[in-house]
Structure 1
């Protein structure tokens, strides 16, 4: 058996630099790994996926799981047990980082092929802090900067394809926050702006949207967010 840590991913900034002929968006982003992580146990020469943990509900265990696709891509066979500690649906890369951990275990290094499974997977294979370009396959490590971060994860789901489609329909706006997808996410996800407003009232600084959402984040550990946003999950973590 092999025990692996699959660290959550946080997109600190995201610029969209173009759209390829096949419809994929080109990005220029800064991403960091967080100390928040799923726990994975890989047993070679077996098969199947088991999922447990606080956020196991709704995670598939069939061949639609990115871990199954990663094993197929790497030509490997194994039983994988995933303990889900990363909330899903908030843009923290939970599925991508699980797949990346399995690809690292399998010693798979083809970033272009990995990016076809998911744009966040190449970064999650490298980890740390990095500039990410192309459709996610170009990962340039940056000096690490350890910083405390508060995550606010609302009970709202932001569909990444819908957010990108809205960005296209809006004419491809840039945004002063550093995340070009924020206007599109606010348009697509009802109630997302209200969460931003409430965070701003508490910490006195506008939060950043993580990628296509729906997670908001601010630097520092702000304990007062726990009582101010009881309808959201507030997680105190740290960039690695």
Structure 2
């Protein structure tokens, strides 16, 4: 049996809601390009309690498969059946032999797309748990993890949640003993980055190079002394304004910042005892961009939220 997936089967439900929590990559090493076209990585990743998306699934009393709607922050988000969450519902139902069942699906977006927070992967993970619960699908946790890995490299982590080293192309997870409640600032610049473009830029730059690093804070320091993101030079090559944004954020926060995944969001790890929400409010006003104060959470998906 693999890592336990949150949720479970509840009889006679007609509607299920699931909160999808973003992932935060604290340190990312890109080890090279694999023969299958993916990049080999090693990343220290945690789940964040906010901003969260909500997936709502409703069983309808007639066959017809999945109908899908996106609400909220829809910029740069696929709104049709090519959305990863819609695909997750279809794949789980097909795997369980229930592909004809009627399901109405509404995705309420708050996680910004193109920011490196894994919003699409989080939505897919939440959908897998929600559709299994709603339709009482005969799928094990391992089944869900297998479907998740086929949907995308980050979906298995978003399904498991908590804190883990991600290896391989991201599908190999090694849980780490980080307690929830660690504080972070997450700042969203006025531009977005597409992950494939950032990895292509990394390839074009010639692969591995020494990335800028920042000192780890609090309990994270027991796992890794410094935080670094090998994709930061590539992301700044794709969007040169990132470097100026990072410097402005660091001046406003009085602390070092690190790129979140492939960007464009930047993350500021906070010391114990600092109130993330209070600090974020002032910095957001100063920089005139969205800045969230968030804490890490032990799960990637929560049913009933």
TM-score by length of 1: 0.92
Counterpart residue number, 2:70: 51
The total of aligned residue pairs comes to 238
Counterpart residue number, 2:153: 119
Checking the alignment, whether the CA contact within 8 Å between 2:236 and 2:242 is kept in structure 1 is: yes
Counterpart residue number, 1:19: 33
- SS of the aligned residue for 1:18 comes to strand
Deviations 1:114-144 (A, max 9, x none): 2332211110010011111111111122123
For 2:211 and 2:240, the matched residues in 1 are separated by 19
For 1:40 and 1:61, the matched residues in 2 are separated by 14
Structure 2, unaligned runs of 5 or more: 1-14, 133-138, 214-227, 271-275, 298-305
Counterpart residue number, 2:303: none
RMSD (CA atoms): 1.8
Checking the alignment, whether the CA contact within 8 Å between 2:114 and 2:195 is kept in structure 1 is: no
Counterpart residue number, 2:295: 238
For 1:84 and 1:149, the matched residues in 2 are separated by 21
Counterpart residue number, 1:92: 117
Structure (1/2) with the larger strand percentage: 1
For 1:57 and 1:87, the matched residues in 2 are separated by 8
Asked which structure has the greater CA Rg, the reply is 2
Checking the alignment, whether the CA contact within 8 Å between 2:75 and 2:113 is kept in structure 1 is: no
Q: CA deviation at 1:112?
A: 4.9
Superposition pairs for residues 100-139 of structure 1, below 5 Å? 100-105=125-130, 106=132, 107=139, 109-110=142-143, 111-139=145-173
Deviations 1:35-72 (A, max 9, x none): 1111111123562112223x134433322100121123
Deviations 1:6-37 (A, max 9, x none): 11111111111222112210111111111111
Checking the alignment, whether the CA contact within 8 Å between 2:66 and 2:90 is kept in structure 1 is: no
TM-score by length of 2: 0.73
